Structure 1
């Protein structure tokens, strides 16, 4: 064979080796997911506080009496409607206790509670008309929320006063059916099953009539299909059910609100099907999740199909609750772009700091959850909990595989971490992807982590119980 042929063969083999090497599968370690904090700044810059006319309407001028006994429902109604009809402004509630039925807000109205003003809401179901609302992620016609805005824009509740739902074991709470909340055998109990069946069978919302005889508790403050909403500085106590519930709403600010309410399902703030929501400078001491981001339940959530997205939580304090910031379990339309920063969480009754929950009946997705600068004193179960087998209300298996990816925690200090740093359980068919712990220090914890079906779990400069954590193999 000539030298020229040998050279041709060598060149050919060399080219082939390059070709096969370039096509061969690569087994490089996946890179860590990186949080995009510029997106958070864009969200904050896009949400402006609503502006109101410089006109004030005193509820006392419309017949309101601050003795804690007189029914002020009509006085509030007249003041709010007059204010809105004249182009909007401030409906002012001065010092004293005001007993009332539900308050329905109108566009361009700021309901302002002066310091020392307290709204005492009726616990008589006859005072609550049937309206289009929601219960545990399923739309229905039920008792009006205590404070309610439906398809309004530029609305607010502000001031240093107190909003008191007067819920307790003697009225709303016992309907949940638990003896710890006052329920006894033979007492009324909520008919959740009927509503869930209607949602699964796609019964039109207008035909999902509840109210008396069904014992589904009303939400406390609900903004339904609203734009440019603000709650600022108020104190909220003793809620019947979910406390602050923006649903299908856009541009929402919850600022400086102090919540103390330990009833059943007393979530602090539940943005649902909502976009561009800022929750800041608030204090949560609740009977359920402090903040729970939702997007509808099962068939009804898939019918509506509006993800909750662009949610910012800043400078908040979380005390008692099932989770500090939670996504789910009513999450069938998905959640994306959640930013949590500069928060303090601390209570022996706080189960988890960051929590994600779904199952194959809920389905949905959670993606791009970015958390930084948390100071955690004590949590009971885990710093990060992800449960995609979450079970409540009977069989929760179905054909809708939940998807979770891109969960990022940075600059977290935990004094007493409970049982696990991370407790995450995914599905083999749909693993949880991309969990990053960066600059995290956790002390007094039982186990570093317990994970099933998690891909690309990254520890970067993370220390647990004084030992730097190595990458899982």
Structure 2
């Protein structure tokens, strides 16, 4: 019986079977001008193709009726400008100086949302402004949830640029940070739906007091993504979330967000990523590499890989980089290089725990391999340079049972040229006896003051301390 592949299916095919990459481009229409970004790494790192909008026409939102005193007019104007730019085949939607109140923004292929210097997009605090629900995910589980504040779905050649600012009003989201009992019950329900592989269309998470906060910016199943020069302030949830995307460059971005779960960038089931020259001032991890949770991720089968973070400054956050705990499709080929902590000017006291933190548990499966960190400087951290834990379940330990036990093989953690003023420890690796961590190398690690036992390892094969 003849059948046709949906656009979503074709895009997944591009991930799963490299030989079909040409087919994966078929749904995206005429080729948009692109630039290639070459990235040096200790693994085979492909060149990253990003969109080039230098010759594209401009579509100021004021030409479409944007009004600084009227959120609806501004929201409608932004949507109309995006539609016009997309219809033109390529375009730059320009937000001029001033504060522009808006509800959700949905991007389209071949569109660059450009915030001029002095421009602020001020996003509504009302959850109703982010309905109807869209296909998204929440902590690694697919669902239909409130739209991210800026959402791009199945877009090719999409960008957010300029020296302006995106700011979220937190009035309601701040209340949702508390995670009340109805919210936890909704999470349990979502977890169970995923465990029995209920269709994603049945996982509707905007009813009642589920209170699943949306991401600030999500690129969902996109290719050729550029985020450049913007500032982002405050966020309901994760700040920048490339999900099931390929070829992503995030550069010279400044993020200040100190709410609950306010990671800076969360590449999830995403490949070929460069994060460079950014400043992170976070309420959670600066970078958290993820690849989905449990059965959902096993079904999708798209690892996160080929991710480079370099030349970044971290004012605050929990970890410089975390791997997991949602890593069920696997994480490989990650490099953090030449990143430094500088707490000057941060709005809150330092909460830095670890530089490199790999976390998983008996439910995740997946794998972690080929993780590199080099040339990092920090002052005082609460944890250590490298920490690996394989029993991290947080509130889930008692909320839901282990439906299927799958351990996570971890192999190839390479850390060198690190200078820290004070830390609790240098390296702590706690693995399962039946699944030891393999090949851990520390080289030229200098910590002036260590408060606890410097190095502790449990169930590690191939540990090298070359200091």
TM-score, length of structure 1 as denominator length: 0.84
| 4+ aligned runs moved over 6 Å, structure 1 | 186-190
Give the deviation of 1:191 after TM superposition.
2.2
CA contact under 8 A between 2:48 and 2:247: conserved in structure 1?
yes
- Aligned pair in 2 of structure 1 residues 97, 187: CA closer, same or farther (>3 Å)? farther
- Name the stretch that deviates more: 194-203 or 338-347: 338-347
- Name the stretch that deviates more: 238-247 or 296-305: 296-305
Task: Report Cα offsets for 1:233-292 as digits up to 9, x if no partner.
Answer: 111111000110000000000101111001111111000010001111111111111100
- Aligned pair in 2 of structure 1 residues 291, 340: CA closer, same or farther (>3 Å)? same
- Aligned pair in 2 of structure 1 residues 435, 85: CA closer, same or farther (>3 Å)? same
CA contact under 8 A between 1:175 and 1:189: conserved in structure 2?
no
Give 1:78's aligned residue. 80
CA contact under 8 A between 2:183 and 2:212: conserved in structure 1?
no
CA contact under 8 A between 1:190 and 1:215: conserved in structure 2?
no
Give 1:380's aligned residue. 382
Give 2:427's aligned residue. 422
- Say yes or no: does 1:49 pair with 2:50: yes
Give 1:229's aligned residue. 225
Q: 1:58 aligns with which of 54, 57, 60?
A: 60
Give 1:434's aligned residue. 439
Task: Report Cα offsets for 1:423-444 as digits up to 9, x if no partner.
Answer: 1110000101111111111111
Gaps spanning 5+ residues in structure 1: where?
1-36, 463-473
Give the deviation of 1:364 after TM superposition.
1.6
SS in 1 for 2:50: coil
- Name the stretch that deviates more: 422-431 or 52-61: 52-61
CA contact under 8 A between 2:411 and 2:438: conserved in structure 1?
yes
- Say yes or no: does 1:258 pair with 2:263: no
SS in 2 for 1:229: strand
SS in 1 for 2:427: strand
Map residues 190-201 of structure 1 onto 2, 5 A cutoff.
191-201=186-196
SS in 2 for 1:429: coil
Give the deviation of 1:192 after TM superposition.
1.2
CA contact under 8 A between 1:278 and 1:312: conserved in structure 2?
yes
Give 1:340's aligned residue. 336
Give 2:29's aligned residue. none
Map residues 277-316 of structure 1 onto 2, 5 A cutoff.
277-316=273-312
Gaps spanning 5+ residues in structure 2: where?
1-38, 344-349
Give 2:370's aligned residue. 368
TM-score, length of structure 2 as denominator length: 0.85
Give 1:98's aligned residue. 100
Give, in whole Å, the separation in 1 of the partners of 2:73 and 2:416: 51
Give the deviation of 1:383 after TM superposition.
1.1
Task: Report Cα offsets for 1:351-375 as digits up to 9, x if no partner.
Answer: 1111100001112211000111111
Q: 1:137 aligns with which of 140, 148, 163?
A: 140
Give, in whole Å, the separation in 2 of the partners of 1:216 and 1:270: 17
- Aligned pair in 2 of structure 1 residues 79, 190: CA closer, same or farther (>3 Å)? farther
Map residues 105-254 of structure 1 onto 2, 5 A cutoff.
105-128=107-130, 129-167=132-170, 170-177=171-178, 191-213=186-208, 214-254=210-250
